[in-house]
Amino acid sequence: MKLTSYKTPILYPNSNLLEIIFSVIPTLPEKSVLCISSKAVALAEGSVEKKITGTREEKHVLVAREADSYLPANLSEFDVMLTITNGMLAVNAGIDESNANDLYVLWPKDPYASAAWYWKKLREHYSVKELGIVITDSKTTPLRWGIIGTSVSYCGFQALFDRIGEPDIFGRKLVMTKENIAEGLAVSANIEMGEGADRKPLVVVEDIPRINFSSQPPSQSELDLFNIAPEDDVYGPLLTSVSWQKNTKS
């Protein structure tokens, strides 16, 4: 694969991200995927909360509001909240304080709608038919130090490449294997984006193997296949052995 990152001006709440993309990316090739950091999308949408006290307690209230379900922070030696948000296991519901200038930056309110909106606008502007969008974030991995990228949402391609029924090199048929193309692209793009003052929230990925582009956003049935309920997950014994608390959304 070929990855090209693009530097942008500093983004603030309600920045016109679409115009910034137009100004810094001269062309988007056919059969490419544009990865956009979730923080860039959230800032452009104004999906932020101003810090009042800046305390852990203030953030925990916000996390409980934004998460679908969560575990109390006192269960963690790091004073963070494990959450399930938008079908993802995430720390603090994805709320970030880095590069935020006294703000809490949330996830986009509807990540899949955001991905579809950028997909439509960028296809029109760059006159391309086969284009993908991945909105990315960083995540930790259980039992590993460090962070990697993850796909918060995607559009314009099939997220999973199904290999069930294919023979392996010894002729044994694969039983459960599905390659997660969206997640793999997010992991790769995150390395290009960086985590500090890099200011590279846009990464164009080309020459992607095993990707099938779509002419429409993912359907609900496709999204249902992309996400796994905790009780059906291979890690279900861990995920269902704790008492998740429901959110406090109004």
Spatial contact of 190 and 205, defined as CB atoms under 8 Å apart: no
Domain map of the chain by residue range? 1-45+108-227, 48-106
**Average pLDDT over every residue of 45-62:** 94
Q: What Cα–Cα distance (Å) separates residue 121 from each residue in 7, 111, 127, 188, 217?
A: 20, 16, 10, 24, 13
Q: What is the DSSP string of 36-97?
A: EEHHHHHHHHT-EEE-SS--HHHHHHHHHHH-SEE--GGGSTT---EEEETTEEEEGGG-B-
Q: Residues 44, 49, 55, 61: what is their CA dihedral angle, to the nearest 10 degrees?
A: -120
Name the nearest CA neighbour of 13 among 101, 82, 89, 84. Answer: 101
- Give the model confidence (pLDDT) of 158-214 as tens digits: 999 988 888 989 999 988 888 999 999 999 999 999 888 889 999 999 999 999 999
Q: How far apart (Å, rounded) are the C-alpha atoms in residues 135 and 19?
A: 17
Sheet holding 32-37, edge to edge: 2-6, 202-206, 32-37, 131-141, 144-155
CA atoms within 13 A on the CB side of 47: 19
- Reported confidence tier of residue 249, pLDDT bands at 50, 70, 90: low
- Reported confidence tier of residue 247, pLDDT bands at 50, 70, 90: confident
Spatial contact of 228 and 178, defined as CB atoms under 8 Å apart: no
- Give the model confidence (pLDDT) of 6-38 as tens digits: 999 999 999 999 999 999 999 999 999 999 999
pLDDT at residue number 88: 93
Angle at alpha carbon of residue 66, lines to 61 and 69, rounded to 5°: 90
CA quadruple 162, 131, 106, 9: dihedral sign: positive
Q: How far apart (Å, rounded) are the C-alpha atoms in residues 162 and 158?
A: 10
Name the nearest CA neighbour of 37 among 146, 125, 114. Answer: 114
- Give the model confidence (pLDDT) of 149-163 as tens digits: 999 999 999 999 988
Q: Over 60: is that where the pLDDT of 250 sits?
A: no
- Reported confidence tier of residue 99, pLDDT bands at 50, 70, 90: confident
- Give the model confidence (pLDDT) of 119-151 as tens digits: 999 999 999 999 999 999 999 999 999 999 999
The count of residues in the chain is 250
pTM: 0.93
Domain made up of 1-45+108-227: CATH architecture: 2-Layer Sandwich (3.30)
pLDDT at residue number 46: 96
